[in-house]
Amino acid sequence: MDDGLKQRIIGAFVLVAIAVVLVPLIFDRERIEPVNKQTQIPVMPSIEPVVIAEPAPPVIEPDEEAPEPAAMYIPDDKKDIASAEPEPVLDARNVPNSWVIQVASYRIDGHAEQMQQKLIDDGYSAYVRKVKTDRGTLQRLYIGPNLDKAKLNEIKAEVEKKYGLSTILLKFKP
């Protein structure tokens, strides 16, 4: 190909490229509008506060019997547990303290589900959670949750005896 022809073709491409960029700028009829700098937030509505009266304390008539303290209703076999320092009913997030039994941790997926089904068949409330550890992902099998720690201690002893496992009693974390 001739050098003159190459230069003409390249020149034509350059002119077309310039035209593609400049023609829309020249013929663009839209104007740039200034930005409205006024706030678009509506005025705060006027809300009248509602005053709620404090509840009146219960009035006990002199002829009525005062209710007995809760300690009077504790069965004799539970008195030693009740004499210990009572645990708070709610934690810092106002969630009731509850307990679970960690039965076992499994590395293989199917084993946790098989044992879970055995526990469910025996009447226990069992579930599996996947947990990532430094040794990989494990499936942990739990029984619970239950608010009664003493009841779970009994279940823990039953499960350890029946299945020959070493279980752990833990606070439930939802």
- Residue 36 domain-assigned? no
Tens digit of pLDDT for each residue in 7-36?
999 999 999 999 998 888 777 767 667 777
Domain that holds residue 146: 91-171
Instruction: Please say whether the beta carbons of 150 and 81 come within 8 A.
Output: yes
Tens digit of pLDDT for each residue in 89-143?
776 777 778 889 999 988 887 888 999 999 999 999 999 999 888 888 889 999 9
The label of the residue with tokens 């990532």 reads: 132
The label of the residue with tokens 């039953």 reads: 158
- Residue 75 domain-assigned? no
Instruction: Please say whether the beta carbons of 124 and 155 come within 8 A.
Output: yes
User: pLDDT-derived band of residue 64, with 50, 70 and 90 as boundaries?
Assistant: very low
- Residue 35 domain-assigned? no
The count of domains in the chain is 2
Longest Cα–Cα distance in the chain: 124
Instruction: Please say whether the beta carbons of 127 and 142 come within 8 A.
Output: yes
- Residue 131 domain-assigned? yes
Instruction: Give me the CATH number covering residue 159.
Output: 3.30.70.1070
User: pLDDT-derived band of residue 6, with 50, 70 and 90 as boundaries?
Assistant: very high
- Residue 61 domain-assigned? no
- Residue 138 domain-assigned? yes
Q: What is the pLDDT of residue 97?
A: 80
- Residue 85 domain-assigned? no
Q: How far apart are CA 86 and CA 81, in angstroms?
A: 9
- Residue 80 domain-assigned? no
Run of H or E residues at 121: helix 109-121
Measuring CA to CA, which residue among 144, 174, 173 is closest to residue 156? 144
